[in-house]
Amino acid sequence: MMAAKGHLFIISGPSGAGKSTVLGTILRKRPQLRYSISYTTRLPRGNEQDGVDYHFISEVAFRKKIETGELAEWAEVHDRLYGTSAIYIEEALAVGQDVLLDIDVQGAKRLFSKYPEAISVFVAVPDMAELRKRLMKRGTDSPEAVERRLKDAEEEMTQVHLYDHVLVNDDLNQTVSRLEAILYEK
Ligand code: 5GP
């Protein structure tokens, strides 16, 4: 008998909204959930590892993937390229595995039309002042990069209406349980 197709979960939200902490917690609690590791041309930050947080590749290698149709979607975010492996998500979904994507709004929009049945969640910050504080506290970005991320965050926040659910992340544990409820009480 063929396995039922897995669910595709698309999560977006400004960087610094605490999205990766929320997703990391969910992934530890739900080891059966597959995380799609994106390709990016940006450099690793802090203790990020190649093949774990991202596949860090050159711009030439990234452009080649676009040409050969290997990416389900891709976008330029904060002046860098980011993209999702088409084969990874297709293979996982085909064997009934649920797949979680952490992608920006532009990429999400592309996937909404390709995967209309995907469940989408936007993780928002309570306010911009709080976001600035979080990005500065993280200490992994230059002041220019922080400003760039804030500008992009404002832009992203205008698109929340495109998502099935919006979670304001003012408390980590609460956000994790709300997200679990969305993903598992589908
Ligand atoms: P960061 O550089 O902070 O890890 O990620 C910056 C932004 O890129 C985040 O909003 C994240 O969701 C987005 N992003 C990460 N991977 C992908 C991807 O494969 N495709 C798209 N479109 N956005 C991505």
- CA distances (Å), origin 79, targets 75, 76, 91, 173: 10, 6, 30, 32
Per DSSP, the residues of 110-122 read: HHHHH-TT-EEEE
Residue 164 CA to ligand 1 center (angstroms) comes to 19
State mean pLDDT over 4-22: 91
* List of residues 6+ apart from 30 with CB closer than 8 A: 180, 183, 184
Give the global pTM: 0.93
Q: Please name the residue whose Cα sits nearest to atom 10 of ligand 1.
A: 104
> What is residue 134's predicted lDDT score, i.e. its pLDDT?
85
Q: Please name the residue whose Cα sits nearest to atom 21 of ligand 1.
A: 103
Pocket of ligand 1 (CB under 6 A): 12, 15, 38, 42, 73, 75, 77, 82-84, 102-104, 106-107
Share of the chain above pLDDT 90, in %: 73
For 141, the token pair is 């970005």
By the 10 Å C-beta count (0-12 exposed, 13-18 middle, 19+ buried), 141 is classed as middle
Residues 52-106 have pLDDT tens digits of: 999 999 999 999 999 999 999 999 998 899 999 999 999 999 999 999 999 999 9
> What is residue 162's predicted lDDT score, i.e. its pLDDT?
96
Q: Specify the higher pLDDT residue, 174 or 185.
A: 174
> What is residue 86's predicted lDDT score, i.e. its pLDDT?
98
Q: Is 8-185 in CATH node 3.30.920.30?
A: no
Angle at 112 between CA 135 and CA 32, to 5 degrees: 70
For 56, the token pair is 């860090």
